[in-house]
Structure 1
């Protein structure tokens, strides 16, 4: 598998889970997962978002017993239709495959709250990767297993730089009050649409703040600036020059409001490829072939890292250049068709 593990990563090679897993497989490599679970019972704990320990999500035996391929799809512009919805045919097809044992999850720029609203009752057995890799979360409960926040001093510096450019960000935080999404004021129609959509969907995170500096007392997970491409490109260059590799920035067109792109700023660990790597580590999936689907700039790293990176026809040219294969348009159920054919051709491995 091409995912490489950094010593500074969210799960150290010496963690109780990994050490016990290695011992168990060395002494009894042919044991069933049920027997292995008993062997590992004292170590079946995971770091929660607050740094403590708690049981990890329950993973059915079938995940480990048969499938040899893990499929991970982006949402907007890839798995979803032109209206940002999961088509009924896609939902039915994925549900059938998941019931047969398909290993599948999503990696999206959306927060888990939004992912859950869109995917609804889709029976995912693996956590979802949200906010471009800043969160790994259980979709059913919206509980986070992993949170990658920006270093506090760095978040303050980025915020100050955004203000120096005459722009105002939306700021997502994760603290004692849970996940919150703050805004101070709106200055263009796209920012208003950003707020209106979250009000319309009753996003519980949305908060108005008269002083955005105050909200940065909690760890900032994402800063989002919505404006025209010119000012955002200048701001992105300034942030990259100031922060180097300490943060990850993406400048991408809003698929639903052309002409008003978003600039997002995350911690350097918050990328989809690192999210998939962490997921594979955490759930013993490191031996699986990884197939990913994407369409935009925030998908490029995971396409590069995957065994097979698949671009949809509507993907930007940079994504198509990185892809092993280009399939049909996102609104043609192309991802589902590819997975179905691949799953059947490989004997449901």
Structure 2
């Protein structure tokens, strides 16, 4: 049986500096040349992934924005788009404003990805904007009226603030729109103390995206092995044959793990893939000879 490996990025495949180590890159490059079936599933955009995974020949599409997009890593072209219903976007936007917050709006305008912003009302938002502008992320656009972006296909609303205020906002969104959207609330590990609430379409989950890859790319007979560290990985942990949590994973996610390995700063994911792939490859070779 073939094996499909799917890894989260931040806190899992990447080190604490959000960089794929030279060791991990070298090993993955070798395994990919041998035929390893690997992709990544992240809350990040494909534009960020292109920088972090530069040089890796991922033949399978990547899962970005928690499943809102399934995209070709090299070209950035979206093969699947799971956007939020326009009327739901408008309603949730009004609710966000009622809570005294302002979102970042991520979208696809039919030609390119966009990330819109207006008022920057706290240091958590400022950190994110500066991080993206420093990285020369070409998606970012200042806009006088965020509702003008709603003509695009909206894939994510991101609200940054303190935990309690976002927990209350999340509760209100779930109460009114639970059947329409998927929400995640997590601390930004690179800017401690600031939390991110992300809102996606209900179909935009890592698990659903993996299911789509399996069905569309002839992987129905594959054993699925996933790696993660945060609560937005829970659904793909439930879906996979083997769910591998890193040592630094959220305690809630660890409840769904079939195995715990070392931390993200120890190249633990790639070491596991290398060993697992080597064992499976050797077993297959023995079977072929037999």
TM-score (structure 2 length as normaliser) = 0.96
Per-residue Cα deviation, 1:257-294 (whole angstroms, up to 9, x for no partner)? 11101000000000000010001111010110000000
The answer for the alignment partner of 2:86 in structure 1 is 152
Residue 177 of structure 1 and its aligned partner are, at CA, apart by: 4.1
Aligned: 1:317 with 2:251: yes
| Aligned equivalents of 1:318, 1:126: Cα separation in 2 | 29
Structure 1 match to 2:194: 260
Paired residues for 1:73-112 under 5 Å: 73-112=7-46
* Structure having the higher Rg: 1
Alignment partner of 1:298 out of 211, 224, 232? 232
Cα RMSD between the aligned structures?
A: 0.9
Measured in 2, the distance between the counterparts of 1:347 and 1:178 equals 40
3-state SS of paired residue (2:179)? helix
Deviations 1:166-185 (A, max 9, x none): 10000011123421100001
Residues 45-194 of structure 1 mapped to structure 2, 5 A cutoff: 68-194=2-128
- Give the corresponding residue for 1:18: none
2-structure distance, mates of 1:136, 1:282: 11
Cα distance in 2, alignment partners of residues 221 and 72 from structure 1:
22
Distance 1:76 1:245 in 2: 28
CA deviation string 1:232-251 (max 9, x = no partner) = 00000000011012100000
Query: How many residues are matched?
Result: 283
Question: Could you list the runs of 4 or more consecutive aligned residues of structure 1 that deviate by over 6 angstroms after TM superposition?
Answer: none
* Partners of 2:149 and 2:100 in 1: CA distance: 19
**Equivalent position of 1:199 in the other structure:** 133
Match of 1:341 in 2: 275
Task: Measure, in 2, the Cα distance between the counterparts of 1:124 and 1:347.
Answer: 19
Could you report, residue by residue, the CA deviation over 1:57-84 in whole angstroms, capped at 9, with x for unpaired residues? Answer: xxxxxxxxxx710000000000001100
Provide the secondary structure at the position in 2 that maps to 1:101.
coil
Match of 2:288 in 1: none
Q: Deviations over 1:71-123 (max 9, x none)?
A: 00000000001100000000000000001111001000001000111101111
The Cα offsets for residues 214-237 of structure 1, whole Å up to 9 and x where unpaired, read as 111222110000000010000000
Q: Which runs of 5+ in 1 are unaligned?
A: 1-66
Q: Aligned equivalents of 2:231 and 2:75: distance in 1?
A: 29
